[in-house]
A and B are shown apart, each in its own frame.
Chain A
């Protein structure tokens, strides 16, 4: 299998309720020298960049000396993003701030349907001092809970302002919402850089495992290879049966009555089958690689779930799987 994903720009969505610290984090990312970022923000006024770092400013867009640009979403989010994609400038990363009452996943889905983009991560921030109260609030509790539903990483912010008991309480409340999702404790001065490939499985296959910001957390891989084909309906059922600890699954996937294997991309419970991109020819009928949390069940249990969706006799081909895994950039 070949890789042709170098043209896809990774997208990270930053979500979280009002006051969670999104702007502080975005300011931190904009100032970093780790890449040429396009950052889409809700409130331009809240972006606080030293005048010395600003190379150009035209009201809607600010260009920084480090190559990053910061764009105000205003009321035209789609237009703003469209302009960035059409502009011709290539960015190492596009970072989008979701609104304080918005669902970051709705924005993240753009990166799943737009061929020039790939979803890197949904990062949701939670103010450690407020999150327990917010989740209980009769008016906004459902909104706040919904923001965590598809988070790949939670940053628990402002932990230096609390005692250990309070931080633990916030951490366990968030963990109860999304068991298995990494929760990283941060302060204004210890906000992590952009976890490119670390939290979305993208470069989990490219030996960057050690770069993980949160050392308490680890990932497990699963690869699944068969010749033959899936029945589409049975496959849809099988996907539903996969455990929530499986974060992502991607690869070639042959469906009955289809001439060519299709590209499966699954993130959480969301999946799509699309034609293989040009230059990406499948050598196998079915070759899927998945990534999950350290609580991911045994691979034989996972294999059995997908085997139930096969329609023809199969043979396992394990050769070279490990090498091939590195070919996927999820």
Chain B
């Protein structure tokens, strides 16, 4: 073994390689794993320097987040006003603000820290469903400032609250029934704005849209830093136009030796015709490097369940709300799927409601019938309401699924009470069904919609408990800890067609590890989310997570 080989010794290495599940030593050279085993097995190879810094730690393959967004990195430049604790890219636990007073206080602090008196104050993460459906009004925000524009973006990213000053500047302060200007109980605009018209107007008077600003190196660095804090070594950006500027920012970041995550951007199909899209993916693939993996395409078929914009099969929403929205017409989907399928490109198809899932299955079936293609691994994303019959079709068609396990905790109560009712809510994000039927699956956060934290996502899939403490379908749909760890490592890598290079600790793969204080397989399953993450190793580079 050559001189530049480093042998990491650890208390335990959980490899996720079923033929060698546990080890204590892993040898790394040129960013890759040369050998895995016991000290004796590794020492039999000559040379190599033993690095003992992890002798009390547990190594796992670095976590793979199969569905999250770069917006997680963009949002942390703004104050967080969600109800739940959330860890920042600096490793700090930012306390949740679960009352209006606490939100106002958080905003007042942020306001005081601003130097330019005219700059707008943006904040993110608010969801009235998490604070007992209490609304944030313009009067609440006026307590923060009456002279500075303020805008709080909801966790859904589709709704915002603004202060009176913004309404006045936008001339939306009068009684109106423009659909996106929500009236308060007093018959006056409440400060809640949604929909394209109101958003257009508000962003124009603010002079900026914090959700569509140009991507910067800082945003990407924050994202990478959050990944390190959460033990993620391969991360997606699962819906991106991939404009030239973004491509350049990603290229520059991924070429840096100290850039500590492998990035897998998915091109948004919506901003390209299929012919353009196919050509663009082929061109982008040529620029791939060890830490930048272009090649997948994202389609969005419907909206969200808790926003009542997902497309549901009969009988629809439990509370009788009208069916949701198509973002791609059912009759248009087959031709889009076929174009990418025939070009050999892997698709990641967002379907929340089961009617959208059905339409996606039909489209893949048609493409697969016309042009049979082994191992396409087209993956349904979210796919929260699929029943056993739909999972069986996925299996037959050779598809994968990435289930939104975090939803059980964050919106499980809403699904039980409002959107799906008890029976369907109990099989929400049916990991157990996927396992029984044999559909390869991952679980995800959709960060920044919910926090980036694969251990928390695994905890959701294992415990299936909602934020109010209700347990949903644990007997039939819950995973064991081992199964959940598969779903955040090797199986998530499989859905990205990267399982040959990441997702387990075995010879030949990238030396990507998460360094934990405790072995998740040895602690009580209710506590796996609380395991301390020391940091990561990416391509052999050790990076201790920041702790603020």
| A residues adjacent to B (C-beta < 8 A) | 17-18, 43, 45, 74-79, 81-82, 85, 100-101, 105-107, 109-110, 112-115, 139-140, 142-143, 232-233, 236, 262, 269-275
Contacts and interface: CB of A to CB of B under 8 A. Distances in A.
B196 A109 contact: yes
Nearest to B171: A274
Contacts of A275: 171, 174
B359 to A, nearest CB: 7
The winner among B172, B200, B323 for most chain A CB atoms within 10 A is B200
B541 interface: no
Contacts of B196: 77-78, 106-107, 109-110
A74 B241 contact: yes
B307 interface: no
B308 interface: no
Contacts of A78: 196, 199-200, 203, 209, 212
A22 B180 CA distance: 26
B434 interface: no
Interface string B485-510: 00000000000000000000000000
B177 A75 contact: no
Contact of B332 (A75, A85, A100): A100
Nearest to A17: B329
A85 B176 CA distance: 24
A101 B204 contact: no
A112 B359 CA distance: 36
15 contacts: A74-B241, A78-B199, A78-B203, A79-B209, A106-B179, A106-B196, A112-B178, A113-B172, A113-B178, A114-B200, A114-B204, A139-B326, A139-B330, A269-B177, A275-B174
B195 interface: yes
B249 interface: no
A271 B212 contact: no
B175 A232 contact: yes
Closest 3 CB pairs of A and B: A109-B197, A272-B176, A75-B271
Given A101-B326, A110-B200, A139-B311, 13 more contacts: A43-B273, A74-B241, A76-B241, A81-B200, A106-B197, A109-B195, A112-B197, A140-B329, A143-B329, A236-B175, A262-B174, A270-B176, A273-B176
Contacts of A233: 187
A82 B204 contact: yes
A4 to B, nearest CB: 15
Contacts of B529: none
Interface of B: 170-172, 174-181, 187, 195-201, 203-204, 209, 212, 241, 268, 270-271, 273, 275-276, 311, 322-323, 325-332, 355, 359
A85 B273 CA distance: 26
A106 B181 CA distance: 12
Contacts of B180: 109
Contacts of B209: 78-79
B327 A109 contact: no
A75 B203 contact: no
B496 to A, nearest CB: 23
A312 to B, nearest CB: 20
A150 B402 CA distance: 39
A274 B173 CA distance: 8
B273 A18 contact: no
B332 A142 contact: no
Contact of B198 (A74, A113, A232, A273): A113
A125 B170 CA distance: 32
A254 to B, nearest CB: 14
A97 to B, nearest CB: 14
A154 B359 CA distance: 29
A100 B195 contact: no
Given A106-B179, A236-B175, A139 B355 contact: yes
The winner among B176, B198, B322, B323 for most chain A CB atoms within 10 A is B176
A79 B212 CA distance: 9
A141 to B, nearest CB: 10
Contacts of A110: 196-197, 200-201
Contacts of B175: 232, 236, 272-273
Nearest to A265: B176
Contacts of A274: 171, 174
A272 B172 CA distance: 9
The winner among B197, B203, B212 for most chain A CB atoms within 10 A is B197
A75 B270 contact: yes
B10 to A, nearest CB: 45
B171 A270 contact: no
A113 B171 contact: yes
A76 B199 CA distance: 13
B222 to A, nearest CB: 23
Nearest to B359: A139
Nearest to B178: A109
A116 B250 CA distance: 38
Contacts of A77: 196
Contacts of A109: 178-180, 195-198
Contacts of A18: 329, 331-332
Contacts of A232: 175, 187
Given A106-B179, A115-B171, A101 B329 contact: yes
A105 B180 CA distance: 12
Contact of A114 (B181, B201, B331): B201
Contacts of B198: 109, 113
A81 B204 CA distance: 11
A85 B207 CA distance: 13
Contact of A143 (B212, B276, B326, B332): B326
B332 A272 contact: no
